Structure 1
Amino acid sequence: MPFTVHLLALAVFAQGTSEFMLSGLVPDIARDLHVSIPAAGALTSAFAVGMIIGAPLMALASLRWSRRRALLTFLVTFLLVHILGAVTTGFAVLLATRVVAALANAGFLAVAVATATALAAPDAKGRATSVLLGGVTIACVAGVPAGAWLGQLWGWRSAFWAVALVSVPAVIAILRSVPSDGRPRPSSPSARAELRSLRNPRLVVTLLLGALVNGATFCAYTYLAPLITTVTGLTSTWVPGMLALFGLGSFLGVTVGGRFADARPLLLLATGGPALLLGWVTFALTATLPAATTVLVLLQGTLSFAVGSTLISQVLYVAKEAPTLAGSFATAAFNVGGALGPWLGGLPLTAGLGYRAPLWVSALLVTTALAVAAVSHPLRRRTSAPPQSPAHRSPSG
């Protein structure tokens, strides 16, 4: 895999830290800005909504720029709004910064996915995607727990400052490592036609499955901190470690997904999907037990990202008619789940059903995904497995 792809993952690490770190900061933000915990949880949904809207819009807007210019514009904007978020005293302003940061993140990720998959071999889109998503999972392993730890030491604002600082080396890395030929990227011969590819039912099904599975992940993860402290009964000092454990699982899941997403996607999805459902149900039933919670945080992180990242990488294969916007479609699908999950998880919390309820919502979302997959299986079977080059074809496969 080209080294530039790994450098892009560095920026994705900073952005992933920002996207996920609120799961450990929600209680502090709610208390400091005098809003409810579900309202503070909506910051995660706002970020995801910005990603959904921004992915295709920012991808289209940057078509006339060189890739380096696009990446730098989006990343510097992302950095600056985090500084604003760190100093604001109003929830509305913080909410607005999350939306703008999401737009910048969406544009960056869409261009980064297109850049990475263009640099990779034609049958290695899954591996290239897994490297980029590896930046997100490392954020879960190191960045998010570090953000929670900083929040406990110096307040939630320090985590926003840390994201801004971590973004600086990524800016330098892009300046030094991503070439700029001084010419804009040619506009798509049919940007309108690429958007029309969304009429393809096979693409829509793949996007829907990715959104549902990732929605389940975001639903449980957003409210993991209060679940651990109020249902499991652990002290707040356990929260960073639990978040790191989930992040470790997500890293393992993306690694597994990267190995199977190109050659054996159906095998991974057929086994991982039901296992993911069983895991959410078991987690909901045993959330009061510290030992079970510890094991299931790791297990569900692994399964969620193995299945989720595989589905997202399949978007890149199915969206053959949209080579420019395929990355934005994949980004949007990931973040539809990011918006849907926390919002749905917040509904039973507002109704007073307790912090175990989001786990049941996650189980319901995965159940819906399995039902959609079962109904659409004949359609997906014709498109899920990418064609393999002779070098990658084995006698058994």
Structure 2
Amino acid sequence: MKSFKFRFVVLVLIAFTLGCSEFLISGIIGNISKDFNQPLATVGLLVTIFAFVYAIFTPIVTLIIGKYKYYYSFIVLMLIYIIGNIMSALAFNYVILVISRIITAGVSGAMLSVALTFGNAIAPPKKRAFMVSWIFSGFSIATVAGLPMGTYIAHIANWHYSFWAVILLSITTLLLGVFALPKDLRAQVGDTSANQLDLMKDPLIIVGVLLPVFNAASSNLFNTFLAPLFTDILKFSATELSLLLSLIGILSIISSQIAGWLANHEGLKKIPLIFVLQFLLFISIYFALGNVLSSLAIIFILELTFNMVGSSMQIHFFDVAERSYPQSMVLASSLNPVFFNLGISLGSGTGSWVVSKYGLNSIGFGSAVYVVIALVVLLILNKMIGASKNETKLSNKNFE
């Protein structure tokens, strides 16, 4: 039962479980707003707070658990995660819900880092990009099954029950993880936090971490308010919203798989074209909202492109760590999710401002600004990577 395939499924399930809780707010934002009598923009800040806490706590928790076996760290983190979701399910006011989301966010990133580290250790070298892409696909699968189901439960019953569903899933994931994951994996003996942090001094990392920030800011500024865009602007019903979110989730899975292919074929060189396409679509959505079919076409194409960057960035961070900072592999595994969530916080926070000041139909313009910044960062990073490879070739030639 502890075969590669079974462990592979468990690692994807961990990401799926994390995604269900993280993305749930986007699907039930309207329900919470009505229940707690809070403005839509205020409830949207739950996404901002979650992502900000995620980004701050993940490297701290990751450095702490680097001293222990990851198997036992996973168990402790998952128990805290379950407690946080129980608090969300029982929340009777907005403040309690905020506190519960802070607790959940504080351990979510470290759990993903542990899953990626397990995957990197378990997978054969040629399947590393495949494993990474599928772990990230767990989040996309959450948008297909978890988010629409949570949204549907909220509409037919109550949003509190949506969190109880996440709790049941989390307990199942914990039990499977206890049975399946290797118990002896840990960081190299003697690796200190200071040594692990050497990775963060590398210019390829310093510039590289900016890409997931602005890539996430552009996509999540848009996605945080996608559900009310469907219901309030495009006038879809609650049942239709669940179906649309499922379709978007399928597109996200496809996007994540394309990301895995790109990661094996110098994806960072191809992604600038994707950013240009996103920019054009973000601008176009404002003018297309008067037509449902045109709006859906633009939204679906955008969703198909949103996950294409992650695997290439994760492999870039792993490559830099393996080449020069082998003691920092777990920290390297956390960089993409950490800075991606920092971008989520930036994007959703900006989105709340855009919605409150200019309305839902203007969110595409905010996303367009961030995707331009992401494009500039990527062009700089690609130039740096090229220069680094040339220096390595020259050094090897001189050595010969």
Q: Aligned match of 1:257 in 237, 256, 259?
A: 259
Answer yes or no: is the 8 Å Cα contact 1:9–1:135 preserved in 2: yes
Answer yes or no: is the 8 Å Cα contact 1:64–1:186 preserved in 2: no
Amino acid in structure 1 at the alignment position of 2:301: L
Which residue of structure 2 lines up, in the alignment, with residue 394 of structure 1?
none
C-alpha displacement of 1:384: 9.2
Answer yes or no: is the 8 Å Cα contact 1:265–1:384 preserved in 2: no
Amino acid in structure 1 at the alignment position of 2:374: A
* Residues 348 and 28 of structure 1: CA distance in aligned 2, closer, same or farther (over 3 Å): same
C-alpha displacement of 1:169: 1.5
Q: Aligned match of 1:90 in 87, 90, 93?
A: 93
Amino acid in structure 1 at the alignment position of 2:171: V
Distance 1:227 1:309 in 2: 29
Amino acid in structure 2 at the alignment position of 1:11: I
Which residue of structure 1 lines up, in the alignment, with residue 201 of structure 2?
199
Amino acid in structure 1 at the alignment position of 2:316: Q
Amino acid in structure 2 at the alignment position of 1:359: G
Q: Structure 2: give runs of 5+ residues left out of the alignment.
A: 393-400
Q: Aligned match of 1:360 in 355, 359, 365?
A: 365
Which deviations, in whole Å up to 9, do the C-alpha atoms of 1:39-92 show, x marking residues without a partner? 111111111112111211111111232221111111121112111111111211
Distance 2:105 2:181 in 1: 22
**SS of equivalent to 2:359:** coil
Distance 2:97 2:350 in 1: 21
Which residue of structure 2 lines up, in the alignment, with residue 239 of structure 1?
241
Which residue of structure 2 lines up, in the alignment, with residue 99 of structure 1?
102
* Residues 382 and 302 of structure 1: CA distance in aligned 2, closer, same or farther (over 3 Å): farther
Which deviations, in whole Å up to 9, do the C-alpha atoms of 1:289-342 show, x marking residues without a partner? 211222223211110101244334422223442223111212212211111110
Q: Structure 1: give runs of 5+ residues left out of the alignment.
A: 388-397
Distance 1:380 1:29 in 2: 45
Q: How many residues align?
A: 384
Which residue of structure 2 lines up, in the alignment, with residue 391 of structure 1?
none
Residue 17 in 1 paired to residue 23 in 2? no
Could you state the TM-score of these two structures normalised by the residue count of structure 2?
0.90
Amino acid in structure 2 at the alignment position of 1:198: M
C-alpha displacement of 1:270: 3.1
Distance 1:245 1:184 in 2: 39
Distance 1:255 1:287 in 2: 29
Alignment of 1:1-397 (within 5 A): 2-3=4-5, 4-122=7-125, 124-181=127-184, 185-187=187-189, 189-320=191-322, 321=325, 322-351=328-357, 353-382=358-387
Which deviations, in whole Å up to 9, do the C-alpha atoms of 1:193-224 show, x marking residues without a partner? 32132122211221111111111111111100
Q: Which moved more, 1:120-129 or 1:99-108?
A: 120-129
Answer yes or no: is the 8 Å Cα contact 2:272–2:378 preserved in 1: no
Answer yes or no: is the 8 Å Cα contact 1:203–1:315 preserved in 2: yes
Distance 2:119 2:31 in 1: 37
Which deviations, in whole Å up to 9, do the C-alpha atoms of 1:228-282 show, x marking residues without a partner? 1222233333221222222111111100111121332134313322222222222
C-alpha displacement of 1:285: 2.4
Answer yes or no: is the 8 Å Cα contact 2:288–2:295 preserved in 1: yes
Measured on the aligned residues, the alpha-carbon RMSD in Å equals: 2.2
**SS of equivalent to 1:134:** helix
Amino acid in structure 1 at the alignment position of 2:360: Y
Amino acid in structure 1 at the alignment position of 2:277: A
Answer yes or no: is the 8 Å Cα contact 1:213–1:337 preserved in 2: yes
Distance 2:45 2:389 in 1: 34
C-alpha displacement of 1:187: 4.9
Answer yes or no: is the 8 Å Cα contact 2:268–2:312 preserved in 1: no
Which aligned segments of 4 or more residues in structure 1 are displaced greater than 6 angstroms?
A: none
Could you state the TM-score of these two structures normalised by the residue count of structure 1?
0.91
**SS of equivalent to 1:356:** helix
C-alpha displacement of 1:375: 3.9
Which deviations, in whole Å up to 9, do the C-alpha atoms of 1:137-169 show, x marking residues without a partner? 000111101111011011111111110011122
Distance 1:156 1:370 in 2: 38
C-alpha displacement of 1:20: 0.8
* Residues 159 and 94 of structure 1: CA distance in aligned 2, closer, same or farther (over 3 Å): same
* Residues 267 and 185 of structure 1: CA distance in aligned 2, closer, same or farther (over 3 Å): closer
Answer yes or no: is the 8 Å Cα contact 2:234–2:289 preserved in 1: yes
Distance 2:282 2:260 in 1: 23
**SS of equivalent to 1:306:** coil
Answer yes or no: is the 8 Å Cα contact 2:13–2:173 preserved in 1: yes
**SS of equivalent to 1:180:** coil
* Residues 196 and 185 of structure 1: CA distance in aligned 2, closer, same or farther (over 3 Å): closer
Answer yes or no: is the 8 Å Cα contact 1:38–1:349 preserved in 2: yes
**SS of equivalent to 2:236:** coil
Amino acid in structure 1 at the alignment position of 2:379: A
Distance 1:14 1:126 in 2: 21
Distance 2:380 2:266 in 1: 21
Amino acid in structure 2 at the alignment position of 1:39: T
C-alpha displacement of 1:28: 0.9
Answer yes or no: is the 8 Å Cα contact 2:314–2:333 preserved in 1: no
* Residues 173 and 137 of structure 1: CA distance in aligned 2, closer, same or farther (over 3 Å): same
C-alpha displacement of 1:377: 3.6
Amino acid in structure 1 at the alignment position of 2:350: L
* Residues 87 and 329 of structure 1: CA distance in aligned 2, closer, same or farther (over 3 Å): same
The share of aligned pairs that are identical, in percent, is 23
